[in-house]
Amino acid sequence: MSTDTVFKAADIDDLARGAAFLGSGGGGDPYIGSLLLREAMKTSGDIPLISMDDVPEDALVVPTAMIGAPTVMVEKIPSGEEAVETLRRTEQAVGKKVFALMPAEIGGLNALLPFVLAARMGLPVVDADGCGRAVPHINMTTFSIYGVPVSPVTICDEHRSSVLINAVDDLAAEHLARATSTAMGAAAIMSCYPILGRQLNVAAIPRTITSALNIGRQIRQAREAREDPIERLLTYLRSSDYYKHAYLLFDGKVTDLERRTVGGFSVGTLHITGGPGSPGLMEIIIQNENLSARIDGKIVTMVPDLICIIDRETAEPITTEGLRYGQRVRVLGIGAPPLLRTAEALEVVGPDKFGIAEPYRPIETLYGQS
């Protein structure tokens, strides 16, 4: 990032690349977000990027995100007007003007959408999010885990049809929002988790936008210097606050991919056949994000830890919708931020919530035994 207080158009590609990496396969195609943001910033200029400490205690911050199957969003590109509509309806529902925006999750397209809306509305963006990665269900956030309700949720489609959801709890909100997005063509834009400044220090993960920017920058600068971008990336991650448990798990070729859209999610199974130095077969289970990775049947990484697939030469992150047969890839396993590893968090985002029989074990434990 160019300074510590503003986001510039020159930062877009670094943020898109870093957010694609932290999405663990999900969060939507950041290329779409970068196109929308580049267009919006032609008229807005620089966007203020503020810390959580810069938000007054009673000020309203609204996260925004795409909901639905990332594979659908590639063909059903939003205009940005959907996000404006959701914000206006959220302000009406809460009875308070928004002070700033933030990502609901730092992964993929969803890291860039708040900046698109900020450029249109002349608002700052808070350097934080509610996941430290991407997650498939809207109730699987640190906001929800630590006491900030998701409702009211406002969802809007490309035709400007909108729905306001006030649910009895966050799981009910997920079911209602998922059904709504499915009816809207399996992908839509939402505003959710309206949060006050005094709640941010409890429920949000700070500086994740900066983390995404730094990840994208490390990959770009390594390429420009003709260095190994994967080694540079791992070195940075291991020195970071949240992602220091970082490992190269596998190196191989995509040899089988089964992927379909079911119930508003992109679900499937990916097989990667190992090359020299990575014998065996890796299997990755997908539900928007990469959920678990096994090598020859033995699990090596599981949610909430991150499974990041990158191009083996350039380290360019590959999202769920970008996977193709024959790609030469490397797979990195990254420990999730601490707020996603607590006992309370694992009740919401633990592997059993995705049908994975094994109890959660941190990647630093699993990798040491693999």
Question: What pLDDT is stored for residue 132 in this prediction?
Answer: 96
Question: What pLDDT is stored for residue 4 in this prediction?
Answer: 54
Question: What pLDDT is stored for residue 181 in this prediction?
Answer: 92
Does residue 3 surpass a pLDDT of 60? no
Question: What pLDDT is stored for residue 370 in this prediction?
Answer: 42
Q: Which DSSP string do the residues of 228-240 spell out, in sequence order?
A: -HHHHHHHHHHTS
Q: What is the CATH number of domain 6-206?
A: 3.40.1610.10
Q: What is the mean pLDDT of the chain?
A: 93
Q: Which residue has the higher pLDDT, 115 or 29?
A: 115
Q: What are phi and psi of 315, to 5 degrees?
A: 65, 15
CA distance 67 to 163: 13
Question: What pLDDT is stored for residue 63 in this prediction?
Answer: 98
Fold of the 243-369 domain: CV3147-like (2.40.390)
Query: pTM score > 0.75 for this model?
Result: yes
Q: How confident is the model at residue 2 (pLDDT cuts 50, 70, 90)?
A: very low
Q: Which residue has the higher pLDDT, 69 or 287?
A: 287
Q: Which two tokens stand for residue 109?
A: 């397209």
Q: What are phi and psi of 27, to 5 degrees?
A: 90, -5
Q: Which helix (H) or strand (E) holds 316?
A: none
Average pLDDT over residues 282-296: 95
Ranges of CATH 2.40.390 domains, the chain? 243-369
Question: What pLDDT is stored for residue 368 in this prediction?
Answer: 56
Q: 226-276 pLDDT, tens per residue?
A: 999 999 999 999 999 899 999 999 999 999 999 887 877 888 999 999 987
Does residue 180 surpass a pLDDT of 50? yes
Q: What are phi and psi of 215, to 5 degrees?
A: -60, -50
Q: 8-54 pLDDT, tens per residue?
A: 999 999 999 999 999 999 888 888 889 999 999 999 999 999 999 99
Ranges of CATH 3.40.1610.10 domains, the chain? 6-206
Q: 118-175 pLDDT, tens per residue?
A: 999 999 999 999 999 999 999 999 999 999 999 999 999 999 999 999 999 999 999 9
CA distance 269 to 246: 23
* 219 residue type, one letter: I
Average pLDDT over residues 286-290: 92
DSSP class of 321: G
